[in-house]
Amino acid sequence: MSIKTEGVVKPERARSSSRSAATPSVAASGDKRQQMEILLPLMTIIKVFASIVFAFTVYKLWPLLSLVFLSLFLTVTLHPMVEWLEERKFKRWAALSIVIVSVVAALGISMALVIPALIDQMGALSKNIPTMRDEILRSFPLGGFIRHNLDHLFEDTTWAELGPWVSHLVSVGNMALGGLLELALLLVIAFYLLVDGGKTYQWILAFFSREDCLKIQKTSEEISQVIFGYVAGQAITSALVMVYCYAVLMILNVPGALMLSVLAGLFDILPILGFFVSTGLATLLALSVSPRTAFIVLILYLIYHALENYLIIPKVYGKRLRLSTLTVLLGLLAGGLLAGIPGAIVALPVVASYAVIEQVWLRKLLGSKVIEKHEDLKNEEFGEAS
């Protein structure tokens, strides 16, 4: 395919007086027009069209793709357990059955113990909202900065009515039901990946050369270790923060202790931002008891946050997620903007996996000196990689 255009070609200026004198007719004849051809091969047009179709498909299937991506994280976390059982003479079908049944049983028991109590507590809390609001306002003198802002926060008359709170709880219940359905679908996809993922992986490798296959295998092994460390570590830290917050709030008689501790465990998945949200909610409800109780809750939450960052996380995660605080914050915000909550959840292991990509795939492009310098800087800040 060709596209013809017309351009104006002006006569070249004479380089010497003798040349200009010898060709007076060229200067006097005016501009000459010349045709230009731009070739667009058929294959280029096909590639552009295919790229547009691919981008549109990804856009339409993004919710499903994000769910599959999260399922892959869970699969990578469960796969070492299957291998551990196989090393102890269990057949693969038996190892898979034990892991899948264990996961389903653990989730079922946890929900059976927590969800009924959580629903009762949220119902009781919604009925006491107006009283709690009055208790919070009485804790601060009129005219003060805090009281002024609380008055604006509570100025909506619907705070004193039960109906809107019931509708809010129904909305929250519907969201929770949708979340449970997505969790069930995520588990189903993860279990299928756990059973047939190996065959699919080998099928995909057949498209690549031997050299690229070796790189892909090395990359997948390294990234799998990063993902396993992150998911397992996050499960431990979320469980610890739930137990800690529940104990603190129960001792101080803060209403909604179970709800607040569960929220603290969920928000712990979102570094930095999650801490401020869970701490703000706990402190606000603690104000309904007394300002002194709210201050104690705030201090105890801050103490745990410091312990988690400087003691628990380094021990639980090891040194695979060696990311600075700024990198964590920017990665979290970028993941949230691109893919919402799922993007924020997977942002850290994705960012941490860049080091593997850099060493395996970008060494020739960046050079060994750049990669070694990056590794030295990480070792200075976080210590040698485990």
Q: Is the pLDDT of residue 363 over 80?
A: yes
Measured CA to CA, the distance from residue 69 to residue 77 in angstroms comes to 13
**Predicted local confidence at residue 153, as pLDDT:** 62
- Provide the sign of the torsion angle of the four alpha carbons 364, 367, 371, 372, taken in this order: positive
The token pair that represents 369 in the structure block: 């000196």
- Give domain status of residue 117, yes or no: yes
**93 part of a folded domain:** yes
Query: Do residue 13 and residue 116 come from a single domain?
Result: no
Over residues 148-171, the pLDDT tens digits come to: 666 666 665 455 554 555 555 556
Q: Is the pLDDT of residue 173 over 90?
A: no
Task: Determine the pLDDT at residue 226.
Answer: 87
pLDDT reported for residue 17? 46
Angle at 286 between CA 280 and CA 289, to 5 degrees: 160
77 and 191 housed in the same domain: yes
The answer on 124 and 24 residing in a single domain is no
Rounded to whole angstroms, how far apart are CA atoms 336 and 311? 27
pLDDT tens-place string over residues 113-123: 888 888 787 77
Token duo for residue 260: 């607040």
Position 224, amino acid? S
Residues 97 and 137 in one domain: yes
Q: Are residues 14 and 109 in the same domain?
A: no
Q: Are residues 36 and 103 in the same domain?
A: no
82 CB neighbour count, 10 Å cutoff:
21
Number of helices and strands in the chain (H, E): 17, 2
Q: How many CA atoms lie within 13 A of 210 on its CB side?
A: 0
What are the backbone dihedrals phi and psi of residue 342, each rounded to the nearest 5 degrees, phi first? -60, -40
In the DSSP assignment, the letter for residue 362 is S
Structurally, how many domains does the chain consist of? 2
pTM beyond 0.85, yes or no: no
Report the distance separating Cα 79 and Cα 95, nearest Å: 10
Query: Is 179 part of a structural domain of the chain?
Result: yes
**137 in any annotated domain:** yes
Q: Does the residue 365 lie in any domain? A: no
Task: With beta carbons less than 8 A apart as the criterion, state whether 269 and 345 touch.
Answer: yes
CA distance 361 to 367: 11
Element (H, E) at 36: strand 32-39
Q: Which domain holds residue 97?
A: 63-203
Question: Residue 184 domain-assigned?
Answer: yes
Tell me, yes or no, whether 135 and 31 share the same domain: no
Assigned domain for 294 exists? no
Same domain, 160 and 195: yes
pLDDT of amino acid 81: 92
From 203, 230, 250, give the residue that closes a domain.
203
Same domain, 127 and 20: no
d(CA 270, CA 283): 19
User: 267-297: per-residue pLDDT in tens?
Assistant: 898 877 788 989 998 998 898 888 899 999 9
8 shares its domain with 139: no
d(CA 198, CA 190): 13
Q: Which long-range contacts (CB under 8 A, 24 or more apart) does 336-344 make?
A: 339/62, 339/66, 342/66, 342/67, 342/69, 342/70, 343/66, 344/269, 344/270
Asked if residue 75 and residue 23 are part of one domain, the reply reads: no
Tell me if 291 is assigned to some domain: no
Residue type, 292: R
Question: Of 152, 179, 203, which residue sits at a domain end?
Answer: 203
The DSSP output letter for 13 is: P
Tell which wins on pLDDT, 186 or 132.
186
Among residues of the chain, what percentage have pLDDT more than 70? 78
**Which DSSP letter does residue 29 get?**
T
67 and 198 inside one domain: yes
pLDDT tens-place string over residues 208-235: 998 899 999 999 988 888 888 888 888 8
182, 203, 224 — which closes off a domain? Answer: 203
Condensed to tens digits (0 to 9), the pLDDT of residues 175-198 reads 666 777 888 899 999 999 999 888
